[in-house]
Structure 1
């Protein structure tokens, strides 16, 4: 005989009271079967791994979303990973400690982004990411300055071996890290495009804006990652060419050329360089992928006349709001960032498939706050050993090593970690 259920009260409370026992009878067998297939102890064993995965995902999201340009300099008791005596790859003019700079306070600051934490540089992590690869720094003396900072940071765990150099001027050098089969090189190319530097017979630079400099362009196919730096040489007098046509000049009295400044030319040089990279390495059918970092304009901090003592006399960073990125510094920064974004749009418009990854290393704001980080008069060893001379040359463009420029490489490592965390692989060699 079938028992028929009838509900005299259709209220929700009545229905729950009547149906709950049936639900429990159905759930209990399912739970027993689930526990038979996956015992409780297996869940306990998975908990640490699940927590680790969640933590790693949080780190990836933080790295991807962090705005490293927005922050402040804060005191750091730990100081740098190296000093001027235990790193032998520092250019003499940037080795402020060995040249007798008496104040050490400039070494004990860290950049603190407002949105996230910026970890200290992890040399082994950097080496692991670039194991069996070739990293090239290409550009002006800022590229060399950043390269030498990186070499010192890495050398705290692995010693670089100089394997190649081009002449006594060190315009091209290559180091090898045997521990990870990593090659790191630097190419002197102050315009990135073809150019003739001013000399005793030529009082202005000559730039050919329609093709990249062949010195580094000839070895482009061998590079796995390239860091580009550009800016200060564009402030010098120059005549600009495109093909056989003279476009104009910057500060060239007596040459009867149209004065066109350098901003548009600076942008054109970036576009020629990045378009060449995209065409040769990003869209090519055959070849390996390449990662590109564009380091934005590094500001100088001359106060008063450049050749007088105390041209950059600050002993600690500017506080928030004391000095902002403006004028030429901002325009040069903006051009570099915009050209990087244009390359990203070209990649997206082409379906998002490219062997080239690119990011702007936007260091202008954090650097503009560090007027204390330059060699100043200590570009020369012990400049006041015999008293204060009538003329004391100062370097308020380049950066002491160690110093604020180490932060550039800390941020660059974070960009590399974000790239590594991306799940979609790029095309490999065809």
Structure 2
């Protein structure tokens, strides 16, 4: 009897369990078929049974603690930013990977593609300081023949045509630290400057840079196709003048124009008595040269320089008188030559920076001063530069700032760029014309101008790199 009752009791319990399971199945089925019932029933998530393989469509990071699923508070959520939330420990202490929501889940192939994409994404490079680096020997130098380029190169600067016999200074190139300069190719330069005009405005060192550029662009070869377009810029030889105020040449194949204008001070020079051939000139320290005002709109690249004409001898010979604000200068501090130069540099750069928004095609540069290497006197007092050993004083520039602090300070905060050549040129005292001039006058050395090919070629390489 007891055994029969026991079997009967177990049968009843089994029937109840089956009935309960059937009811649950019916409820779930009815819930899915009748959405309106969901308002009376708990969220479906509560019916899910979690296992290590379960996919959790979590909207927030989840942690597993004591077999419970816990959603972190808002404070915890913020502290979890940046932490992986899909690698969590299970009961046994092993890591269980729980995929995140659809918005953050990625397949292995998607992750792989993302990784490839990140590698291909452009990385912003630090701007190169082309003035910091070292001189290195290069058998590919010079970039043109010192015996050729007679079409562009003044004989007084062609040291191969003089009495000089050592030319080791030609065999070096400048290597910036941590970056490379593009190799200069005349054809590539003309292609990049297609339908553009590059203007160099300054003193005789600017003229050397201009002649260097013409030789570099043509490879020193005779170029009959180059057209003289100086008249378009008023660059014609005045009656009685030794030479015009500048030159301009155009290469028809790319419609590229390269010009130079002589303006030793970059100031506006106004004759005080136009009817007098020996008139003095008002040197307006706070006004740029009229040529710049007239033709700035036609330039795509502009390189300015000044410096070596700022001395009493040049002021007297050129009959310059300082003017500020349209009147003769009465400020004793400004009357000091170097202060007058500084005022002009700042004034010209300020004016140029104000013009650039109206000439968006224009890239403007101000070149720092080219160093002199006179020792034991000046050009007219027995000064000399006899060294012919390349890099006798060192080959590296390690500083970050420019040796020409005035120009560096003037361009700071403006859209005018610095073409810094001072320190790297300071190392090349053997590259000057020295005593090997055409006239070869006893005791007269040129330790200001450079032999060409030579150091100004590097200035143009740096300019090319900055374009």
With normalisation by structure 1, the TM-score equals 0.71
Q: Distance in 2 between matches of 1:74 and 1:240?
A: 44
Contact kept, 8 Å, 1:176 with 1:182, in 2: the verdict is yes
Shift of 1:9: 6.6
The aligned residue for residue 308 of structure 2 is 232
Contact kept, 8 Å, 2:133 with 2:397, in 1: the verdict is no
Q: Distance in 1 between matches of 2:451 and 2:227?
A: 23
The aligned residue for residue 448 of structure 2 is 397
Q: Which has the higher contact order (CA 8 A, sep 6+)?
A: 1
Contact kept, 8 Å, 1:229 with 1:296, in 2: the verdict is yes
Structure 1 pair 272/16, CA: closer, same or farther in 2 (3 Å)? same
Corresponding position: 1:371 with 2:412: no
The aligned residue for residue 32 of structure 2 is none
Shift of 1:309: 8.4
The aligned residue for residue 422 of structure 1 is none
The aligned residue for residue 241 of structure 1 is 323
Shift of 1:131: 1.4
Q: Distance in 1 between matches of 2:369 and 2:406?
A: 9
Corresponding position: 1:291 with 2:363: yes
Q: Structure 2: where are the runs of 5+ without partners?
A: 1-24, 26-46, 53-64, 68-87, 316-320
**Secondary structure of the equivalent of 1:378?**
coil
Contact kept, 8 Å, 2:132 with 2:397, in 1: the verdict is no
Shift of 1:191: 1.0
Structure 1 pair 120/312, CA: closer, same or farther in 2 (3 Å)? farther
Contact kept, 8 Å, 1:205 with 1:236, in 2: the verdict is no
Contact kept, 8 Å, 1:93 with 1:378, in 2: the verdict is no
Q: Distance in 2 between matches of 1:221 and 1:18?
A: 69
Structure 1 pair 12/362, CA: closer, same or farther in 2 (3 Å)? same
Corresponding position: 1:134 with 2:197: yes
The aligned residue for residue 12 of structure 1 is 89
Question: Which entry has the higher C-alpha Rg, 1 or 2?
Answer: 2
| Alignment partner of 1:264 out of 313, 336, 339 | 339
Matches within 5 A, 1:295-334: 295-305=367-377, 306=379, 311-315=384-388, 316-320=390-394, 330=403, 333-334=404-405
Residues 152-201 of structure 1 deviation map (CA, whole Å, 9 limit, x = unaligned): 1111299443332521514221011222111111111111112379x995
Matches within 5 A, 1:340-359: 340-342=411-413, 344=414, 357-359=415-417
Q: Distance in 2 between matches of 1:81 and 1:322?
A: 22
Contact kept, 8 Å, 2:267 with 2:284, in 1: the verdict is yes
**Secondary structure of the equivalent of 2:393?**
coil
Residues 108-153 of structure 1 deviation map (CA, whole Å, 9 limit, x = unaligned): 1222233333343233443233211111111111111111111111
Q: Distance in 2 between matches of 1:123 and 1:140?
A: 24
Aligned residues: 361
The aligned residue for residue 129 of structure 2 is 67
Contact kept, 8 Å, 1:226 with 1:293, in 2: the verdict is yes
Contact kept, 8 Å, 1:162 with 1:176, in 2: the verdict is yes
**Secondary structure of the equivalent of 2:462?**
helix
Matches within 5 A, 1:122-271: 122-156=185-219, 159=223, 160-164=226-230, 165-167=235-237, 168-195=242-269, 207-237=283-313, 238=315, 239-247=321-329, 260-271=335-346
Shift of 1:375: 1.1
Q: Structure 1: where are the runs of 5+ without partners?
A: 250-256, 345-356, 384-388, 417-430
Shift of 1:215: 3.1
Residues 190-240 of structure 1 deviation map (CA, whole Å, 9 limit, x = unaligned): 11112379x9958x9752223222234222221122100100011234331
Contact kept, 8 Å, 1:323 with 1:368, in 2: the verdict is no
Shift of 1:377: 2.3
Q: Distance in 1 between matches of 2:450 and 2:256?
A: 25
Q: Distance in 1 between matches of 2:397 and 2:178?
A: 21
The aligned residue for residue 409 of structure 1 is 460
Structure 1 pair 261/288, CA: closer, same or farther in 2 (3 Å)? same
Contact kept, 8 Å, 2:198 with 2:300, in 1: the verdict is yes
Structure 1 pair 322/218, CA: closer, same or farther in 2 (3 Å)? closer
Corresponding position: 1:335 with 2:335: no
